[in-house]
């Protein structure tokens, strides 16, 4: 069951097609979600949060994805920051301060990726640099794919420090010298604020910096898995929206094909069979995501208790997330196309904007290629080669 109010989810769903068509950024709706306390529910109870499980969190992500995958996607990097930093056993003053702000409802965005910057192995030196100047640091650089940052209160930024290693900066989005730009023009997920973030001579206090040896490596591994699994949950939500829209369209169809077995489309066994398949798709994708979320919950419990098998549990969670992506992507691509077999030619009208389901699925699934996940799973099965511990595994 979703932890967001049903009336809020309904209003989000009712306006989703129009927002996508007219590029209306959902600022007000994000504020409403923040006011529900959603952003603090996954924060560990030890740190004053709601202590929600991954199963509970991703169930809500699926429901939100069904209403509007753009809005669900905006919350993805917030939850990655929770796992990589805020749920880590850290006494760091900047982390403690950000936990307090998350409990108050603040949203975290991300600035990690740089266009043209090689990321193989995660070892490249980033051009976004943090340089010590007296009692402060100064941050300069540019990021892209800054999903959620346009709406965020705080930014989780990956930078290079002077010795070339990578560090993390946690700073307010409204800090002088920080500019978020609404320049994401992808064919799908148009309203996720996934564009440019500029940093020009931004002053950063020492307590806002996590140096390379200050973030527990295992926590980053789990964060990488959640980065993937949250996206797959959003896709499962879109599959649910496809089933919902297919049902509504079929029940309202006044005409059927001239060679159809029944005059009424809603009585046509061929169309009803296709609708039943979409219903099954929604059930299956949800179940797959939540099964993978259960593995993530076991991994988190092992991390928290410092269990001897924690690394194995992290591998299990990564494998489950990879398997979920491979299967859910395949189901989702087919479901979004098959919607039009049920709805008929009138469903292709731009006013219906039903193509947004396929565009959104295709855009989300392109983030991290399915082929890489399938290869890693095959290599694990045949050769016992462990999965990577980063790169959204």
Q: Do the Cβ atoms of 170 and 147 come closer than 8 Å?
A: no
Which pLDDT band holds residue 286 (cuts at 50, 70, 90)? very high
217-383 fold: Butyryl-CoA Dehydrogenase, subunit A; domain 3 (1.20.140)
Count of Cβ atoms closer than 10 Å to residue 389 Cβ: 18
Which pLDDT band holds residue 253 (cuts at 50, 70, 90)? confident
Separation CA 30–CA 17 (nearest Å): 17
3-state secondary structure 64-86: HHHHCHHHHHHCHHHHHHHHHHH
How, if at all, do strands 136-143 and 129-133 pair? antiparallel
Helix (H, G, I), strand (E, B) or coil at 381: helix
Task: Please compute the mean of the pLDDT values over residues 224-229 and round it to a whole number.
Answer: 97
Indicate whether 392 pLDDT > 90: no
Task: Please compute the mean of the pLDDT values over residues 35-63 and round it to a whole number.
Answer: 98
Count of Cβ atoms closer than 10 Å to residue 47 Cβ: 20
Q: Do the Cβ atoms of 95 and 88 come closer than 8 Å?
A: yes
CB within 8 Å of 97: residues ≥ 6 apart: 207
Pick the most confident of 110-119, 122-131, 196-205: 196-205
Which pLDDT band holds residue 77 (cuts at 50, 70, 90)? very high
15-24, 142-151, 228-237, 337-346: range with lowest mean pLDDT? 337-346
How many residues belong to the chain? 393
pLDDT tens per residue across span 346-359: 889 999 999 999 99
Which pLDDT band holds residue 190 (cuts at 50, 70, 90)? very high
Which pLDDT band holds residue 74 (cuts at 50, 70, 90)? very high
Indicate whether 264 pLDDT > 90: no
Domain with CATH 1.10.540.10 in the chain: 6-107
* pTM recorded for the entire structure: 0.96
Which pLDDT band holds residue 230 (cuts at 50, 70, 90)? very high
162: left (phi over 0), alpha (psi -120 to 50) or beta: alpha
262: left (phi over 0), alpha (psi -120 to 50) or beta: beta
CATH node for 6-107: 1.10.540.10
Indicate whether 200 pLDDT > 80: yes
Nearest to 184 by CA among 211, 144, 214: 144
Place of tokens 């306390």: 37
Q: What is the mean pLDDT of the chain?
A: 95
Q: What is the pLDDT of residue 3?
A: 81
Q: What is the pLDDT of residue 2?
A: 58
Domain with CATH 2.40.110.10 in the chain: 111-212
How, if at all, do strands 136-143 and 178-180 pair? unpaired
Nearest to 222 by CA among 300, 146, 286, 290: 300
Q: What is the pLDDT of residue 119?
A: 61
Q: What is the pLDDT of residue 121?
A: 58
Please provide residue 4's backbone torsions phi and psi, each rounded to the nearest 5 degrees: -100, 145
Q: Do the Cβ atoms of 112 and 147 come closer than 8 Å?
A: no
Measure Cα distances from 52 to 40, 207, 288, 348 in Å.
9, 28, 19, 40
Domain with CATH 1.20.140.10 in the chain: 217-383
82-96, 254-268, 312-326, 354-368: range with lowest mean pLDDT? 254-268
CB within 8 Å of 41: residues ≥ 6 apart: 3, 49, 50, 51, 52, 56, 57, 60
Helix (H, G, I), strand (E, B) or coil at 299: helix
Place of tokens 């499962």: 236
CATH node for 111-212: 2.40.110.10
Separation CA 148–CA 187 (nearest Å): 17
Q: What is the pLDDT of residue 120?
A: 60
Q: Do the Cβ atoms of 193 and 74 come closer than 8 Å?
A: yes
Separation CA 368–CA 228 (nearest Å): 8
pLDDT tens per residue across span 368-391: 889 999 999 999 999 999 999 988
Task: Please compute the mean of the pLDDT values over residues 12-30 and round it to a whole number.
Answer: 98
């Amino acid at each position: 069951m979703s932890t967001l109010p049903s009336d809020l989810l309904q209003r989000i769903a009712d306006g989703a097609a129009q927002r996508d068509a007219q590029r209306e950024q959902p600022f007000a709706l994000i504020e409403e979600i923040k006011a529900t306390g959603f952003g603090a529910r996954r924060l560990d109870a030890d740190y004053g949060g709601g202590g929600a499980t991954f199963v509970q969190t991703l169930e809500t992500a699926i429901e939100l994805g069904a209403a509007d995958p753009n809005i669900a996607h905006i919350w993805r990097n917030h939850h990655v920051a929770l796992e990589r930093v805020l749920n880590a056993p850290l006494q760091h003053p900047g982390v403690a301060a950000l936990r307090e702000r998350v409990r108050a409802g603040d949203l975290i965005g991300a600035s990690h990726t740089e266009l043209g910057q090689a990321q193989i192995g995660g070892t490249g030196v980033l051009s976004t640099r943090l340089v010590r100047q007296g009692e402060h640091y100064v941050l300069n650089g540019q990021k892209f794919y800054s999903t959620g940052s346009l709406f965020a209160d705080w930014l989780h930024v990956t930078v290079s420090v002077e010795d070339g290693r990578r560090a993390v900066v946690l700073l307010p989005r409204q800090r002088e010298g920080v500019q978020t730009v609404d320049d994401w023009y992808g064919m799908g997920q148009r309203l996720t604020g996934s564009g440019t973030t500029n940093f020009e001579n931004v002053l950063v206090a020492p307590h806002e910096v996590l140096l390379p040896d200050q973030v527990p490596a295992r926590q980053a591994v789990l964060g990488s898995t959640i980065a993937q699994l949250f996206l797959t949950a959003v896709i499962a939500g879109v599959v649910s929206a496809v089933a919902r829209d297919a049902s509504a369209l079929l029940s309202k169809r006044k005409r059927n094909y001239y060679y159809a077995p029944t005059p009424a489309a809603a009585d046509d066994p061929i169309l009803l069979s296709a609708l039943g398949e979409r219903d099954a798709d929604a059930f299956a994708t949800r179940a797959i995501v939540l099964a993978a979320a259960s593995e993530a919950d076991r991994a988190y419990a092992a991390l928290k208790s410092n269990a001897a098998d924690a690394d194995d549990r992290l591998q299990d969670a990564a494998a489950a997330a990879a398997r979920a992506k491979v299967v859910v992507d395949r189901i989702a691509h087919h479901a979004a196309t098959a919607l039009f077999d049920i709805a008929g030619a009138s469903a292709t009208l731009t006013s219906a904007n039903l193509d947004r389901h396929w565009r959104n699925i295709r855009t989300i699934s392109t983030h991290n290629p399915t082929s890489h996940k399938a290869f890693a799973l095959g290599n694990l099965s045949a050769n016992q080669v462990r999965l990577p511990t980063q790169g959204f595994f």
